[in-house]
Amino acid sequence: MKVLVINCGSSSLKYQLIDSETESVIAKGLCERIGIDGGIISYAPAGGEKQEQQIEMPDHKKAIELVIGYLTDANTGVVKDLSEIGAVGHRIVHGGEKFTKSVVINEEVKKAIEEVSDLAPLHNPANLIGVNACEALMPGVPMVAVFDTAFHQTMPEESYMYALPYEYYEKYRVRRYGFHGTSHAYVSNRVAEILGKKPEDLKTIVCHLGNGASVSAVKNGKCIDTSMGLTPLEGLIMGTRSGDLDASIVEFICKKENISVSDMLNVLNKKSGVLGLSAGLGSDFRDLEKGYNEGNAGGKRAIEAFVYRVVKYIGAYAAAMDGVDVICFTAGVGENSGFVRKKIVERISYLGIKLDEDANGKRGEEIAISTADSKVKVYVVPTNEELAIARDTVALA
């Protein structure tokens, strides 16, 4: 079956057409600046030339119309007509407590996604716009919702509850949800496969280190804790997000700088993390590494703090699971930066880990970076959220 995977943001839309039999990408691309002047769409068929076009996209329906146009184009398209697309898988950011796994989308599901929108006001409404646009343009094609939060719904109360008045949970469902679930699920299952073991027999820590970053503790195939919280702001130091901090800082800075809580949240989400720590050197680890190696104090400060936070979470999750068998690195930084991986692994040698320096020098490969005699194994497992979405979509459609 050919499955269209859609990841819809408020002004962007990423898409991939995947052949579920071969699990290969048939075509992929990105629509940017939807609803904003200066729209741009890209389309890359597998083995073909990437195309880019500047075109206004007043809404997501127009963007999906254009995507379909590219996919079915007589010369450079990859399908004869839309009937070849068997199902559409949609990435939905927040499923609240309602969705513990992927589901076929119907009116009731859409209503439930809308109901949890106050937990992800920037993401869920945009995700739904993508669903509605696809339904309008591809009537009768099954649509599946795959949630970023679903994998983490197995967390026990002790790890998902915040120590706040309990009524906030009862009234507003304030708790830890966790994100990047599709990635944590894919990587923890994949590493079990690589090791020739069942997920049920492993204690795994997954470090998803990208621009957004999170760690999860996966015990016997189930997530028991993760670093992101009610929103993706908590946990690790990220590209531009602060991660964990003392909540009192919010009021303190609001008073000092005479800004609102919303302004401050914007600072915590968009101007903090390694970008903030490096005093503006950047949020991209390639720039930070370069700065670090050239003796830039901001680059060094940001990378050391980033590494330290990851090391703390690994220690905490090894304790939470009463041990750890395998640690996985994934996403942009985790897959590509041997520099950052080495710094992390060197600080967890107490777990009986020895780094294989040659293997760690590789980039973007599925590979063991611990030596054969290492007590705890360390792997790089490139994530593939689109494939995981396509698999769920086929299974349900």
Catalytic residues: 148
Residues 258-317 that bind ligand ADP (CB under 6 A): 284-286
Residue span 218-247 as binding mask against ligand ADP, x where in contact by CB under 6 A, dash where not: ---------------------x--------
Nearer to ligand ADP by C-beta: 177 or 179?
A: 179
Instruction: Compute the least distance from the CB of residue 220 to ligand ADP, in Å.
Output: 27
Nearer to ligand ADP by C-beta: 99 or 179?
A: 179
Establish if 331 lies at the interface with ligand ADP (CB under 6 A).
Answer: yes
- Residues in CB range of 84: below 8 A, 6 or more apart: 2
Q: How far apart are CA 271 and CA 309, in angstroms?
A: 18
Establish if 211 lies at the interface with ligand ADP (CB under 6 A).
Answer: yes
Instruction: Compute the least distance from the CB of residue 362 to ligand ADP, in Å.
Output: 12
C-alpha of 102 from chain center: 16
Specify the 3-state DSSP secondary structure of 350: helix
Instruction: Compute the least distance from the CB of residue 341 to ligand ADP, in Å.
Output: 10
Q: How far apart are CA 222 and CA 203, in angstroms?
A: 9
SS (H, E, C) 126-167: HHHHHHHHHHHHCCCCCEEEEECCHHHHHCCHHHHCCCCCHH
Establish if 32 lies at the interface with ligand ADP (CB under 6 A).
Answer: no
Minimal CB distance residue for ligand ADP: 332
Establish if 117 lies at the interface with ligand ADP (CB under 6 A).
Answer: no
Spatial contact of 144 and 89, defined as CB atoms under 8 Å apart = yes
Residue of the chain from 336, 360, 370, 393 that contacts ligand ADP (CB under 6 A): 336
Helix residue ranges per DSSP H, 224-296: 248-257, 261-270, 273-277, 285-293
Widest pairwise Cα distance in the chain: 61
Establish if 5 lies at the interface with ligand ADP (CB under 6 A).
Answer: no
Nearer to ligand ADP by C-beta: 337 or 374?
A: 337
Picking from 172, 166, 284, the residue whose alpha carbon sits closest to that of residue 231 is: 172
Instruction: Compute the least distance from the CB of residue 1 to ligand ADP, in Å.
Output: 26
Instruction: Compute the least distance from the CB of residue 74 to ligand ADP, in Å.
Output: 33
Picking from 309, 327, 331, the residue whose alpha carbon sits closest to that of residue 318 is: 327
Q: How far apart are CA 325 and CA 42, in angstroms?
A: 41
Establish if 337 lies at the interface with ligand ADP (CB under 6 A).
Answer: yes
Q: How far apart are CA 82 and CA 195, in angstroms?
A: 40
Nearer to ligand ADP by C-beta: 4 or 340?
A: 340
Establish if 210 lies at the interface with ligand ADP (CB under 6 A).
Answer: yes
Instruction: Compute the least distance from the CB of residue 274 to ligand ADP, in Å.
Output: 8
Establish if 333 lies at the interface with ligand ADP (CB under 6 A).
Answer: yes
Residues that bind ligand ADP (CB under 6 A): 210-212, 239, 284-286, 331-333, 336-337
